[in-house]
Structure 1
Amino acid sequence: MKVGIIFGGPSREREISFAGGRTVYDNLDKALFEAVPVFADSFGNFILLDWQYIYKGTIRDFYPPVEALPESEHQLQIYLESLGELSIAEQDAIIARAGKRLLPHEFRNYFDFAFLALHGPYGEDGSIQGLLEWYHIPYSGSGILPSAIGIDKAVQKELLKQHGFPTPDYKTIPFADWSERSKRESIFESLVADLGLPLVLKAPHQGSSIGVSIVKEHDFAGFEQAVERSFFTKNIYKEQWLAMGEEKQLASMKQLVDIREGIGMPVTLTDGTVIYHPEALLNHINDTFATTDTNTITLTNVEREHMVLVETFIQGREFSCIVVQDETAKPLALPPTEIVKGNEVFDYRSKYLPGLSRKITPINLPSEDIQRIRENCSRLFTFLGFNVYARLDGFITEAGEIFLNDPNTTSGMLPSSFFFHQAAEIGLNPSQFLTYIIRTSLAERLKSGKDTVTLTKLLSELDKSIKEEQAHRHDKIRVGVIMGGYSSERHISVESGRNIYEKLSSSTEYEPLPIFLTGDAENMRLYSIPVNIMLKDNADDIKEKIQHFEHGGKPHPVLAQIIAEAEGITKKYTGRSLQEPQRLTPAQLKNLVDAVFIALHGRPGEDGALQKELEQLYIPYNGSGIRSSQITINKYETNEILAKHGVPVAKHRMAFKEDWLQDKEAFFNGIESEFPYPFIAKPADDGCSSAVKKIKSRTELEAFSSLIFREMEELDTECARTLSLGFKEEFPNKAGFLIETLISKNGARHFLEITGGLLTKYGPDRSVNYEIFEASEALAEGEVLSLEEKFLAGEGQNITPARYAADPERRQKISDKVKEDLKRVAQILQIEGYARIDAFVRIYDNDEVETIIIEVNSLPGMTPATCIFHQTAINGYKPYDFIDRILQYGIERTKMKVLE
């Protein structure tokens, strides 16, 4: 069956939709479906997208294409709407660079079924659903009417209130009333009198907590700001603006035009003038304040809300519950998840960035309360006429009162979202859950009485294919995917491991088995884990669950009941029941798998220790061998070896704890005499972005040394503040750290940071041949690239291929030279399988190129958003193809060793 995945769209959640569309594209079962990527741009054009663009980090990395971008002095990234009013011909020229324009009447020529990964207005409000019904295309999820109700928070509130569903008290602020400034204070006082404090303000037609604020104090100025945030309007004050300075003004502009947390573009001025491009807006603000007496500039997004919803604040525990339809079309509430937040608003970042909030499934309450939440959610699902699946959010108070809020007809589809997280609790992996959604959606569309012959045939063929696939499951290559570990990158390792698992589980060739590594350097422990534990929030949650079962714990009684209720679904789509975690010896691992994919970062995994164990048992694995791994894990040793071979590296030295303990003053003086500030300090033997800091002063050097050499597990808060450590940022404890000179432009005409991937294969004579990919240009928001920027969807800005020069011929010539340099590094270090090499590139006036190596990662991050997938796409490899080649190389290497 051809499945058109429709994603992107005009809403403020387009980046999450884009990442969700990629998840669906990758996870659709290849034995059952052919995935057809249909990208909707912000003008509502549908594009049959060239598949390689799916693996870009963000929409702005490829659309609009570079060729369509106007000059921007500050290199501000934009969406299509910032190009202004475009003619159809101009839009066609832009679309042609990303794929092929699809008109709705042509959909049937390309796909049989539409999987909707769209969010917000136009995507989950009935618009796209109505369009598809008009053109006789079956689609996923709810129909037109429930979708229209599901997007409108104000309508929902009224319906819930009228039909006896407890929901927070609310009022609305119409834009017309708010526009009369004289009314504003009385609006505030009236709301406080009616609803009390705190007040919760929402943009009623947005999903994902966009435009949500909590006003806790009796503070009119704070309230006014919150209302403007929900209306997507902003006042720029002259005095504040001029006090910022150019750098902060630019940062403020980036935040202002952010569609997730700012007001977005285009904007209207009070006189009705529309400004499309952020660069033009920046110039307008500066010109206005420089040449007129204006003290305030008011900006409003062209698609502002027409009202703001204001609710009373519910003091309680927040939960989210996915409700699905079972085989008999009855609602089945999956185990509700408690959201434990780092701040009071479960906003866009908290939802989609691992570590900023915790998901606890099921919510930690007595079984009776969990069942009451499930019953209420199922009842509301039925009452609103939702179909197939929905996400229902709410609160439970200390007194046990349940308030339901913001029912959604769709859910975020990132690998870590509630959608997959809760489905895993009944034993469905993401690929199986998507099959369930498609099959249930077809059955639901059939009830409309439209296109019954076509839909019956599609349904019958799908059921037959599902049965056939179950029968051939045991013919596949079994791959143990090892994730977790105990380094500060263990959470990223879990993201990588899950991604590998998901790519393999939807393939026709492989049967993956999730394996979690925990313990410490003296005692590594391996566990096979079921899918529901693999999809827990992070590595620490997985470890906690394993310990629960190791100490004789049983599945939660509510989970046991839900699993029993869902038995029909689970049996149909998986053919098996959920298992408990099992401790494995390496010998037992050999009996369970044909090969291993190591998805670990830092130690262990990248240091040769695990490779040694696997080689003794002749278990094929991915990546470099023992000796090469032992070298590349140690950044100091890597630098030393490369320098001896004449490869440019930063000037470097180790700083040791014993010297620091002996004489701190001499320790600091010694470093300062060799390395002028600023310089880079980082662990010598950990993952790529762990505790990498730009040290600008003695104070920062003292703080870095205190943290890395500390005796306690906890971080000193003053030192953490000095180094501006992020929320929940970890900092390893080491006996030494590496110091490097800060690599700078040094007279070059052009200077950039790059990251380049590679792949190896055997030649006819068993020699190792290297395929070096086009490197990505990495742009950091802060002083160094963060973990989030490297690996998380929508966070990092990676431009692939790197912009070495404007002229294509010169760019390619420089790129070829850089690739030669990276290949030489790989050969010196005897890298095998695949790797990522980070470097700085200096390009001088005569096009002389200098590639300065920063570090080499023998097991690079394999999260869905990592830029290695952007690079492989240029060479024609989809992520699965890349993973397949990595595994096949490891299998071939082991066969050769057995023959020896």
Structure 2
Amino acid sequence: MKTKLFVVYGGRSVEHEISLKTARTVLSAVDESKFELYPIYIARDGRWCAPDAQDISGTDARRLIAEPRHEDAAASIGDVLLHQLSLPGKKVVLPLIHGSYGEDGTLQGLLEMLNVPYVGNGVLSAALALDKAMSKEVLAQAGIRQVEHRVVRREQWLADEPGCLGTLEDEIGYPCYVKPASLGSSIGISRCEDRSGLLSGIADALQYDAKLVVERELPGREIQVAVMGNEAPVASLPGEFIHDNRFFDFASKYSDPRLRMSIPAEIGEDLTVKIRALALRAYRALGCEGLARVDFFLDRDGLLYLNEINALPGFTSASMYPVMWERTDGTTYAALIEKLIGYAFDRHAAKQSIRYERQATC
């Protein structure tokens, strides 16, 4: 009997369109001799619906968009849970929502309550990885080198803008980067060369998050490592995007025709061994399971600085994460999906041995 694979995509995040691209690629690649596909679309307003798998065939990601039957989000979720996720048989959920309300532990929490196996990080690791401010705190405790940064909260900024600005200029300086704490794909991120740029960058980032990270610019290269696994994770060969952009923003990532991958990155064997080991160390520090992409800065002196951990990296066939695995050990896109599903079942099986009732005593 085939395994029921529920692919959840869309969502309320500003990364909605990126989720559609990821879902389109995954749905096209899944081996349907092994899996019975059940797409679940979450609209921008948070309502759920379950399109017919036959209706979303083709290569146009826009065909994945469907109109939920219910006007109320709670009713729509209940409808999908009742008629889809309650179906009998072996099942697993593949969450493909980048950013808020999908990559941040919220969806994972619901799936934990339902006791359904799901691919990727658990509640805590997903929440930590998406929140750059919190992940930096944990990684610092693990002794992992990071770029100098400060956290700015909206209420702090509104209460004392001159004081916050002075602290950032004194302790971080220019150029610097302003980032929403909990967002991906370089959305809301600004490179700031002076006070005017910093003020503009903070105003822009506060549209997306109430907590920001302001980071000193580190001249050098950006190197990425793909990691997968649960208790015994493994790391890929490192990769690097080759581009001419001073700031690798959203347009550079998704629209620059000159962008190319270098896998393995040209960094030498000793540094390759070191960066793979450091990626695993960071992965374990955040309690990651399933998959993550670990991003580093390599400065001009050859020192590595951890940039961030992405709990749900780009996952189209042309994204760095799957391509790194293909060039590391020959794992194809379809085989990678199956490996990640396997990790989901392993983790779920291990959790079934945990007691949730106090053992009776005589």
- The answer to whether 1:853 aligns with 2:350 is no
Contact 1:694-1:783 at 8 Å conserved across structures: no
- The answer to whether 1:491 aligns with 2:11 is no
Tell me how far 1:629 sits from its aligned partner: 1.1
Q: In structure 2, which of residues 188, 207, 221 is the aligned counterpart of residue 752 of structure 1?
A: 221
Alpha-carbon distance change, 480 to 511 in structure 1, aligned in 2, over 3 angstroms: same
Q: Which residue of 2 aligns with 1:673?
A: 170
Secondary structure, counterpart of 1:769 in structure 2? coil
Alpha-carbon distance change, 537 to 692 in structure 1, aligned in 2, over 3 angstroms: farther
CA distance in 1, matches of 2:77, 2:103: 24
The aligned runs of 1:195-274 (5 Å cut-off) are: none
The aligned runs of 1:456-471 (5 Å cut-off) are: none
Alpha-carbon distance change, 832 to 795 in structure 1, aligned in 2, over 3 angstroms: farther
Tell me how far 1:697 sits from its aligned partner: 1.4
Alpha-carbon distance change, 491 to 681 in structure 1, aligned in 2, over 3 angstroms: same
Which amino acid counterpart does residue 880 of structure 1 have in structure 2?
A
Q: In structure 2, which of residues 113, 125, 130 is the aligned counterpart of residue 616 of structure 1?
A: 113
Tell me how far 1:771 sits from its aligned partner: 1.1
CA distance in 2, matches of 1:795, 1:494: 24
Contact 1:612-1:626 at 8 Å conserved across structures: yes
- The answer to whether 1:526 aligns with 2:48 is yes
Alpha-carbon distance change, 818 to 526 in structure 1, aligned in 2, over 3 angstroms: same
Contact 2:121-2:291 at 8 Å conserved across structures: yes
Secondary structure, counterpart of 1:816 in structure 2? helix
- The answer to whether 1:477 aligns with 2:6 is no
CA distance in 2, matches of 1:617, 1:699: 49
Q: Which residue of 1 aligns with 2:340?
A: 886
Q: Which residue of 2 aligns with 1:898?
A: 352
Which amino acid counterpart does residue 752 of structure 1 have in structure 2?
R
Q: Which residue of 2 aligns with 1:821?
A: 278
Q: Which residue of 1 aligns with 2:92?
A: 595
Tell me how far 1:843 sits from its aligned partner: 6.4
Contact 1:586-1:613 at 8 Å conserved across structures: no
CA distance in 2, matches of 1:634, 1:838: 15
Q: Which residue of 2 aligns with 1:135?
A: none
Which amino acid counterpart does residue 707 of structure 1 have in structure 2?
D
Tell me how far 1:655 sits from its aligned partner: 1.5
Alpha-carbon distance change, 624 to 602 in structure 1, aligned in 2, over 3 angstroms: same
Q: Which runs of 5+ in 1 are unaligned?
A: 1-474, 552-580, 710-731, 745-750, 762-767, 805-810
The aligned runs of 1:420-459 (5 Å cut-off) are: none
- The answer to whether 1:546 aligns with 2:21 is no
Once the two structures are superposed, residues 608-654 of structure 1 have per-residue CA deviations (whole angstroms, 9 ceiling, x without a partner) of 11111111222111111111112111101111111122101111111
Q: Which residue of 1 aligns with 2:127?
A: 630
The aligned runs of 1:272-287 (5 Å cut-off) are: none
Tell me how far 1:508 sits from its aligned partner: 2.3
Tell me how far 1:658 sits from its aligned partner: 2.0
Once the two structures are superposed, residues 672-712 of structure 1 have per-residue CA deviations (whole angstroms, 9 ceiling, x without a partner) of 12221100111101124222221111111122222333xxx
Secondary structure, counterpart of 2:13 in structure 1? coil
Tell me how far 1:864 sits from its aligned partner: 2.1
CA distance in 1, matches of 2:27, 2:61: 15
Alpha-carbon distance change, 843 to 664 in structure 1, aligned in 2, over 3 angstroms: closer
CA distance in 2, matches of 1:604, 1:859: 13
CA distance in 2, matches of 1:587, 1:898: 23
CA distance in 1, matches of 2:121, 2:208: 26
Contact 2:13-2:98 at 8 Å conserved across structures: yes
Once the two structures are superposed, residues 175-233 of structure 1 have per-residue CA deviations (whole angstroms, 9 ceiling, x without a partner) of xxxxxxxxxxxxxxxxxxxxxxxxxxxxxxxxxxxxxxxxxxxxxxxxxxxxxxxxxxx
Once the two structures are superposed, residues 737-763 of structure 1 have per-residue CA deviations (whole angstroms, 9 ceiling, x without a partner) of 11011112xxxxxx42111101115xx
Alpha-carbon distance change, 851 to 507 in structure 1, aligned in 2, over 3 angstroms: farther
Tell me how far 1:519 sits from its aligned partner: 5.3
- Counting matched residue pairs gives 346
Which amino acid counterpart does residue 771 of structure 1 have in structure 2?
V
Which amino acid counterpart does residue 211 of structure 2 have in structure 1?
G
Q: In structure 2, which of residues 135, 138, 156 is the aligned counterpart of residue 641 of structure 1?
A: 138
Secondary structure, counterpart of 1:820 in structure 2? helix
The percentage of aligned residue pairs carrying the same residue is 25
CA distance in 1, matches of 2:284, 2:77: 40
The aligned runs of 1:499-514 (5 Å cut-off) are: 499-504=25-30, 506-514=31-39
The aligned runs of 1:390-429 (5 Å cut-off) are: none
Contact 2:235-2:276 at 8 Å conserved across structures: yes
Q: In structure 1, which of residues 870, 876, 879 is the aligned counterpart of residue 330 of structure 2?
A: 876
CA distance in 2, matches of 1:507, 1:589: 18
- The answer to whether 1:833 aligns with 2:297 is no
CA distance in 2, matches of 1:636, 1:873: 32
Which amino acid counterpart does residue 733 of structure 1 have in structure 2?
Y
Which amino acid counterpart does residue 760 of structure 1 have in structure 2?
G
CA distance in 2, matches of 1:803, 1:791: 23
Which amino acid counterpart does residue 79 of structure 2 have in structure 1?
L
Contact 1:481-1:599 at 8 Å conserved across structures: yes
Secondary structure, counterpart of 2:331 in structure 1? coil
Secondary structure, counterpart of 1:672 in structure 2? helix
CA distance in 2, matches of 1:792, 1:862: 16
Alpha-carbon distance change, 851 to 588 in structure 1, aligned in 2, over 3 angstroms: farther
Q: TM-score, normalised by structure 1?
A: 0.36
CA distance in 1, matches of 2:58, 2:18: 13
The aligned runs of 1:576-587 (5 Å cut-off) are: 584-587=79-82
CA distance in 1, matches of 2:43, 2:343: 27
CA distance in 2, matches of 1:651, 1:589: 47
Contact 1:636-1:652 at 8 Å conserved across structures: no
Contact 1:514-1:534 at 8 Å conserved across structures: no
CA distance in 2, matches of 1:534, 1:829: 37
Contact 2:146-2:307 at 8 Å conserved across structures: yes
Once the two structures are superposed, residues 266-290 of structure 1 have per-residue CA deviations (whole angstroms, 9 ceiling, x without a partner) of xxxxxxxxxxxxxxxxxxxxxxxxx
Once the two structures are superposed, residues 832-880 of structure 1 have per-residue CA deviations (whole angstroms, 9 ceiling, x without a partner) of 1111011112464xxxx53211111111111121011221112120011
Secondary structure, counterpart of 1:513 in structure 2? strand
Once the two structures are superposed, residues 446-479 of structure 1 have per-residue CA deviations (whole angstroms, 9 ceiling, x without a partner) of xxxxxxxxxxxxxxxxxxxxxxxxxxxxx32110
Which amino acid counterpart does residue 546 of structure 1 have in structure 2?
E
CA distance in 2, matches of 1:546, 1:538: 15
CA distance in 1, matches of 2:192, 2:256: 28
Secondary structure, counterpart of 2:155 in structure 1? helix
Q: Which residue of 2 aligns with 1:127?
A: none
CA distance in 2, matches of 1:671, 1:793: 32
Contact 1:650-1:743 at 8 Å conserved across structures: yes
Q: In structure 1, which of residues 585, 591, 605 is the aligned counterpart of residue 102 of structure 2?
A: 605
Highest relative contact order (Cα 8 Å, sep 6+), 1 or 2?
2
Contact 2:222-2:241 at 8 Å conserved across structures: yes
CA distance in 2, matches of 1:706, 1:498: 34
CA distance in 2, matches of 1:586, 1:613: 11
Q: TM-score, normalised by structure 2?
A: 0.87
Q: Which residue of 1 aligns with 2:218?
A: 743
CA distance in 1, matches of 2:307, 2:129: 11
Q: In structure 2, which of residues 145, 155, 158 is the aligned counterpart of residue 661 of structure 1?
A: 158
